[in-house]
């Protein structure tokens, strides 16, 4: 597998439309590790950036926000990560040594494995090398893009810390491999009504465009569950311009018909939007035309939503018969939304 180093200023262009498939908010978890004496390996998958704790000490030494193993490993340390979605293809990595300066891991590499039914072991012979050992600097982010295209699905990653030390955050980016339609409804769909959540990240939905993500990315709209705090929701900055609105466009995992929308403001109590509208379109483009006059159909006129609650809106009968590929949610004038569910049926 070939790869290249990416400058930080190219992050959005390279990974912006992909899914952070390793994130704890998507269900990513550490399933085994060699050592995390100084700081737990689970910190690697936290949602937010690493925090500094200068001058704070615990029983084992300085308190750090990240994975830190003990010194003098004659080989190297490792952690095995189960990805959040059932399977995904891999596009690249963000390996961050924030606040580790003098105790950072000198280098790191990444391997991958497809093992849907069992937890793989470190000594398994089936690991595939995705990223060869790369040097890491102190307190800095390191972006790596896999440049050889691959549609091979994986379920687990192994991050190798060579030979030991600290890594604050590890983020893997890629594309969720959605279940084949023949597999039927999944636990994250609306099984009781026989409807698919066309926008759900595990069904292949992804955000392809948004106006603002100051406090939280629009991709959080499509995650499983309802989250634990405001941290994993789409949250825009306060606007001061009359008539302002923010929008996000979601490419559905499958083209289909839409019956009902669920807009969830869970945890947004004093900063939920004043109103929400939703449009949809059938387009072969990844990002459809942004002008609403260019073929968009209104599924939901501007409607009031309240704090910390799910809001269900049925689509009108005429729109229920149309096939769509994208939805666009607009919030007025700004604020936070936790999840957007788009219930319907896949087209033939």
User: According to the model, what pLDDT value does residue 59 have?
Assistant: 84
Residue 196 and residue 149 share a domain: no
User: What is the domain range of residue 136?
Assistant: 3-176
Domain check: are 339 and 191 in the same one? yes
- pLDDT for residue 57: 87
Q: Which of 78, 170, 74 is nearest to 123 (CA)?
A: 78
Domain-terminating residue out of 117, 142, 176: 176
Residues 280-295: tens digit of each pLDDT? 999 999 999 999 999 9
Q: What is the mean pLDDT of residues 63-86?
A: 95
Percent of the chain with pLDDT over 70: 100
Q: Which tens digit of pLDDT belongs to each residue from 241-261?
A: 999 999 999 999 999 999 999
Q: Per-residue pLDDT tens for 183-209?
A: 889 999 999 999 999 999 999 999 999
142 & 193 share domain: no
Calculate mean pLDDT across residues 113-129. 96
In percent, the amount of the chain with pLDDT more than 90 equals: 89
pLDDT band at 17 (very low <50, low <70, confident <90, very high): confident
- Using alpha carbons, select from 281, 250, 258 the residue that is nearest to residue 345: 258
Shared domain for 301 and 327, answered yes or no, is: yes
- Is there a single domain that holds both residue 152 and residue 206? no
- Position 305 pLDDT exceeds 70: yes
Same domain, 35 and 168: yes
Residue 203: φ, ψ to 5°: -95, 5
Q: Which of 156, 176, 196 is the last residue of a domain?
A: 176
Distance of CA 171 to the CA centre of its chain: 9
CATH number at residue 72: 2.60.120.260
| Res. 310: pLDDT tops 80 | yes
pTM for the model: 0.89
Q: Are residues 167 and 210 in the same domain?
A: no
The backbone region for 103, taken as left when phi is positive above 0, alpha when psi lies in -120 to 50, beta otherwise, is alpha
pLDDT tens digit sequence for 142-162? 999 998 767 899 999 999 999
Q: Count structural domains, the chain.
A: 2
Average pLDDT, the chain: 95
Asked whether residue 152 falls in the same domain as residue 207, the answer is no
Q: Which two tokens stand for residue 331?
A: 């919030």
């Amino acid at each position: 597998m070939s790869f290249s180093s990416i400058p930080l200023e190219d992050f959005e262009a390279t990974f912006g439309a992909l899914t952070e498939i390793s994130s704890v908010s998507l269900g990513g978890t550490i399933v085994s590790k060699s050592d995390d004496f100084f700081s737990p390996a689970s910190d690697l998958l936290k949602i937010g950036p690493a925090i500094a704790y200068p001058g704070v000490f615990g029983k084992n030494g300085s308190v750090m926000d990240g994975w830190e193993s003990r010194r003098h490993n004659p080989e190297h340390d490792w952690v095995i990560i189960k990805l959040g979605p059932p399977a995904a293809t891999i596009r690249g990595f963000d390996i961050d040594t924030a606040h580790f300066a003098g105790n950072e891991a000198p280098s790191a590499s990444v391997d991958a494995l497809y093992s849907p039914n069992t937890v793989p072991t470190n000594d398994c012979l089936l690991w595939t090398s995705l990223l060869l050992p790369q040097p890491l600097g102190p307190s800095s982010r390191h972006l790596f893009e896999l440049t050889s295209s691959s549609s091979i699905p994986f379920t687990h990653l192994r991050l190798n810390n060579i030979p030991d030390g600290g890594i604050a955050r590890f983020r893997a980016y890629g594309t969720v491999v959605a279940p084949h339609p023949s597999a039927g409804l999944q636990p994250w769909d609306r099984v009781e009504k026989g409807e698919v959540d066309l926008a759900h990240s595990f069904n292949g939905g992804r955000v392809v465009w948004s106006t603002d993500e100051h406090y939280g990315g629009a991709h959080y709209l499509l995650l499983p569950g309802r989250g634990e705090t405001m941290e994993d929701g789409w949250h825009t900055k306060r606007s001061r311009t009359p008539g302002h609105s923010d929008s996000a466009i979601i490419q559905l995992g499958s083209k289909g018909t839409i019956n009902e929308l669920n807009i969830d403001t869970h945890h947004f109590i004093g900063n939920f939007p004043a109103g929400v509208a939703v449009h949809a379109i059938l387009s072969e483009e990844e990002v459809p035309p942004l002008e609403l006059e260019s073929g968009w159909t209104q599924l939901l006129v501007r409607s009031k939503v309240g704090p910390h609650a799910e809001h269900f809106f049925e689509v009108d009968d005429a729109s229920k018969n149309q096939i769509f590929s994208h939805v666009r949610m607009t919030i007025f004038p700004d604020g936070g939304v936790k999840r957007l569910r788009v219930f319907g049926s896949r087209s033939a």
